[in-house]
Amino acid sequence: MSVRYLAAIVVLGLLATPIATADVPTTQPISQVVKPTLVTLDLDKVAAKDAFAELQKRSKIKVNIVPPDLLARSDTPITLKVKNRPWLEVMLELCDQAGVYPSNYGNNWNITQQGDRRLKARRVIDGPTMIVCHNATTDSEIRFGDAAKTVRTLTLQSMLFTEPGSPVSGISTVTDVVATDDLGRELKPVSTEPAIFSAGYERRDFTIALPLPDADATSIKRVSGKLLAAMLAESAELKIPDLLRKQGDTITFRSATFTVSEVRSVGNWYQVELEVSRGDLPLETFQRLRTNMPPFDPRAENEKQAGIIRVNQVQTRGEDQVLTLTVRPQNIGAPAQPKDEADKPVIDLAWTLPVSYRHVEIPFELTDLPIPR
Amino acid sequence: MKWPLFIFALTTLAVAQTAQPEAEQFIRDLTATDWAKRQQAEDSLVGAGAPAIDAINAALATSTDFEQRDRLQSALARIGREQLLIATPVTVNGRFERPLDAYTALARLVDLPTKCENPDAEARATAAVPVDLDFTDKPWLEALTETVARTNVNIRLEDEKLTLLRVPPAAIRRPTHFAGAISISADNARRRQATDLASGNTTSSLQVRLAAMCEPKIKFRAESMRLMVSKLLDQNGESILGDAQRVVPMQRESGGRYTCTLNFNTAKNAPTAISLIEGDLVGEIITRTIEARVEDLTALPQTLETPAGTIEISSLVRTGKNWSLAVQISRETNFHQSLANGLATDTRDGLHIVDQFGEPMRVNLTAQSMAQATVDVTFTLSSTNSDAQPAKLLWNIASQSRDIRIPFVLRDLPMPN
């Protein structure tokens, strides 16, 4: 090989290096970021209540039983022998055997009599994540004046769940979708759409729409792809002690600022305007200040009292946001009294806000989904 | 470019010329002792049409007879309504060198400019493809539909323009019923089958989307339009009315286009075709508007007295990148309650705000609250120019409306399988 060729290879290699670096994806496969909680159980005809207690003891993951005596009512003995299986898989198996249903809201898993029956549908558990495809819909349409044939589409509705401790804040993209029908034809998706739900961190919905060129296929043999999602990495607590007496004060939270611009007395409660300048708050957090975990009063004795502070309204003001908080320190039904500064109760505000996210890829594969007829 | 070889004329409305003395006789007959004669006199006045309006107004100024006044007002309303629903007639005989020229000629008849959707649409519309039109007293909407078929250039009727589209129309026939200045047609039919993968249950539904198109002179009060279905036959001529909605509210899409979706309760024995849909389009068309004008929006509050009531432009506040405009309307007793209810949504046509540069600003309703005689409305004003500040306001507020009922029939709609 001549020197000229070698020089050319070196130059090309140098040119290629920064391109290759720039192409490194900023997302990581979820398996590299979060390890599933693995559970080993050996239950032989034990009561449902004891089985769930054993699961909680082994996994250190708490689920809420609603009502608390629900499992005591179940007289079905549970037999389950598993070794190093993901927590989601074991929890769902126990629910199936006990005849109860799990449901997921926010950061919590609840076990109830009714629950979310969609979780019984096509589910694929992979480590700390679970994809449930719960609905398949065929649309056939004639558009008068547009085309002389029927357009047919299959829409698959699915949900993503993660086990507690690895909360996903939202699916941003559904990508690399490949689908094949039972006749071996490849179907390119018409659209893929993540649905951003405001409440809760863990459950996320998405749809995949596939064209159905002919009426002869009866099922989708395989559909696979990847979800790109943001996963909560770190939270921090914002604190504004004695909120109602802080009008005009600015509280710095990392490099963001929260200014209490107005405190108004409205009958028996208060309205507080909070101007938020984003600073280094992640966009996901800044855009969801109303729908993130709500602020609370840490001095409150119980959950109900802690919920007296609510974000009622969010307005954009330039690059900042103005939040309107309602603070209801006493029973709304009590007669309104004129208040002066001394009458104001002491309300402390605490707010757990996500301050950093990781971006992860969650692969999925679903098989043998029927095409409704 | 060659000059188009066409003869182009707009015919005047063919209105029966009724002699003034004849109208006066009908008015006298409104006080006859025989009910049938009084009813016939009112119908005859309506039949006389616009030439009878002066005589009716003169009689209204002096009459003290309760029933005569009631019938005079009824006749006036019926004449106004029927005049409004008469289609604009089109008489065109000749050749246009380009599709755009044909559409421009048609749009001019109803005082609309034409606009191409984008450069691709413009290329299609200005291509040297001659269009021959031969219409004699053809209703405007029918002439427009026919021109779409002949030019192969599709259009969209919007608030203040006729837009020529990039995507051409295709061959399938759109079932349409023309009724003067309004047409009713079928947009699409959709069958949906959904399987709950947890239970394995499959549910089915069938929907037919219908659309009404109006000439620009007709404005419906927002949310007043309904489609009332009275007859529905499947491919075998069997009635399927029991499976479908009978009263369907229509939503405004853009300009003179309104749509609704007719839902069928079950698609278990869903029809393979609908051979007949028969019913009525009902709604309130706006027959009079009042104009409110503020020349300087920086000097608020301002109060505008109008025949329909008082309009107070209360405040204009900057909220982030947008502006918030608060308005209170105190309704007079003659201001139609339903118009007050629909005030905010009707403003899509009527409320115009321009900034200090004379550019129009976008107006969105953000809040509306109603009391016995007042309506409080808050609008959000926005612009792509971050320096824009609202400067002037012009508001055409609907102050009078008329109920209309238009029978329609659609035939032979294939349903998806």
Q: Where is pLDDT greater, at B85 or B190?
A: B190
> Chain B within 8 Å of A216 (Cβ-Cβ)?
no
Tell me, yes or no, whether A293 and A264 share the same domain: yes
Mean pLDDT of B190-212: 91
Residue A321 forms part of a structural domain:
yes
β-bridge partners, B313: B302, B327
Supply the DSSP string of A69-132, one letter for each residue: TTGGG----EEEEEEEEEHHHHHHHHHHHHT-EEEEETTEEEEESS--GGGGSEEEEETTEEEE
Whether residue A84 has pLDDT greater than 90: yes
Nearest to B219 by CA among B278, B147, B153, B289: B289
Question: Does A138 lie in the same domain as A104?
Answer: no
Cβ within 8 Å, pair B188-A141? yes
Considering the domain boundaries, does residue A339 fall inside one? yes
Q: According to DSSP H, which parts of A243-354 are helical?
A: 283-287, 303-306
pLDDT of residue A333: 55
Asked if ipTM goes beyond 0.90, one says: no
Q: What are the φ/ψ torsions at residue A217 (nearest 5 degrees)?
A: -70, 145
Give B116 to chain A, closest Cα distance, Å.
19
A313 touches chain B (CB under 8 A): no
Mean pLDDT, chain A, rounded, equals 81
Residue A210 located in a structural domain: yes
Position A201 pLDDT exceeds 60: no
Q: Which residues from chain B sit within 8 angstroms of residue A133, using beta carbons?
A: 197
Distance from CA of B311 to the nearest CA of A (A): 27
Do A136 and A97 have their domain in common? no
Which residue range is the domain that position A320 belongs to?
A: 3-17+234-356
Count how many domains chain A has: 3
Specify the residue for token string 């321009």. Answer: B354
A145 chain-B contacts, CB cut-off 8 A: 169-170, 172-174, 185, 187
Q: How far is B381 from chain A (nearest CA, A)?
A: 14
Q: Are residues A248 and A347 in the same domain?
A: yes
Residue B247, pLDDT score: 92
CB contact under 8 A, A315 and B319: yes
- SS3 of A330, please? coil
pLDDT for residue B337 is more than 90: no
pLDDT at B70: 83
Q: Any idea which of A134-143, A283-292, A332-341, B40-49 has the lowest mean pLDDT?
A: A332-341
pLDDT band at B83 (very low <50, low <70, confident <90, very high): confident
Query: B220-256 burial, b if ≥16 CB within 10 A, otherwise e?
Result: bbbbbbbbebeebbbeeeeebeebbbeebebebeebb
Give the residue from B148, B197, B206 with the most A CB atoms within 10 Å of its CB, the best one to mutate: B197
**Confidence check: pLDDT of A334 > 60:** no
Exposed/middle/buried for residue B77 (C-beta within 10 Å: 0-12, 13-18, 19+): middle
Evaluated on CA atoms B158, B163, B166, B170, the torsion sign reads: positive
B contacts of A136 (beta carbons < 8 Å): 194-195, 197
Question: For the whole model, what pTM was predicted?
Answer: 0.67
- Which of residues A61, A82, A117 is at a domain's end? A117
Which of A117, A146, A181 is at the close of a domain? Answer: A117
Say if the Cβ atoms of B170 and A144 lie within 8 Å: no
Question: Which is higher by pLDDT, A196 or B207?
Answer: B207
Write the CB contacts of A197 (distance below 8 Å, at least 6 apart in sequence).
A170, A203, A204, A205
Residue A29 counted as domain residue: no
Q: Confirm whether A123 is domain-assigned.
A: no
Given a cut of 90, whether residue B391 has pLDDT beyond it is: yes
pLDDT of residue A26: 75
A228 lies in the same domain as A246: no
Same domain, A187 and A284: no
Q: Mean per-residue pLDDT for A299-311?
A: 73
pLDDT digits (tens, 9 = 90+) for A252-264: 999 999 999 888 8
Q: Give me the mean pLDDT over the B5-28 stretch.
A: 54
| A138:B415 CB<8 A | no
The verdict on a CB contact (< 8 Å) between A137 and B194 is: yes
Question: In CATH, what number is assigned to the domain containing residue A363?
Answer: 2.60.40
- A267 assigned to some structural domain: yes
Same structural domain, A222 and A365:
yes
Same domain? For A363 and A227 the reply is yes
Please determine, for residue A11, whether its predicted confidence score (pLDDT) is greater than 50.
no
Written as one letter, the residue type at B18 is T
Indicate if the pLDDT at residue A81 is higher than 50: yes
Q: Which residues of B touch A142 (CB under 8 A)?
A: 172, 188-190, 414-416
Q: Above 50 in pLDDT, residue A202?
A: no
Q: Between the CA of residue B230 and those of B258, B407, B413, what are the distances in Å? A: 20, 10, 17
Q: How confident is the model at residue B314 (pLDDT cuts 50, 70, 90)?
A: confident
Residue A50 maps to which CATH number?
3.55.50.30
Nearest CA distance, A147 vs chain B (angstrom): 6
Query: Does A11 reside within a domain?
Result: yes
- Say if residue A210's pLDDT is above 60: yes
Residue B184: per-residue pLDDT = 93
pLDDT for A12 beyond 60: no
Which residue on chain A is closest to B202 by alpha carbon? Answer: A372
- CB nearest to B417's CB, from A117, A140, A145: A140
Task: Kindly indicate the confidence band of residue B332, based on its pLDDT and cuts at 50, 70 and 90.
Answer: low
Q: What is the pLDDT of residue B222?
A: 73
Decide if A141 is inside a domain.
Answer: yes
Same domain, A180 and A143: yes
Q: Residues B282-302: pLDDT tens digits?
A: 998 887 777 778 889 888 888
Q: Are residues A53 and A141 in the same domain?
A: no
- According to DSSP H, which parts of A112-241 are helical? none
A32 or A208: which leads in pLDDT: A208
Please tell me which of the candidates B170, B193, B199 has its beta carbon nearest to residue A145. B170
Phi, psi of A349 (to 5 degrees): -105, 130
User: When comparing pLDDT for A166 and B354, which is higher?
Assistant: B354
Which bin fits B362, alpha (ψ -120 to 50), beta or left (φ > 0)? beta
The better pLDDT of the pair B132, A151 is held by B132
Q: Residues A137, A216: one domain?
A: yes
Q: Are residues A67 and A203 in the same domain?
A: no
End position of a domain, from candidates A94, A117, A140: A117
Closest CA to A220 of A193, A192, A249, A187: A187
Q: Do B198 and A117 touch (CB under 8 A)?
A: yes
Q: Answer whether B86's CB lies under 8 Å from B60's CB.
A: no
* Confidence category of residue B267, pLDDT binned at 50, 70, 90: low
What is the DSSP annotation of B44-63?
HHHHH-GGGHHHHHHHHHH-
Q: Which residues of A touch B195 (CB under 8 A)?
A: 135-137, 370, 372
Question: Residue A134 and residue B173: Cβ atoms within 8 Å?
Answer: no
In chain B, residues with a C-beta closer than 8 Å to the C-beta of A370 are 195, 197
Q: List chain B residues with CB under 8 Å of A150.
A: 416-417
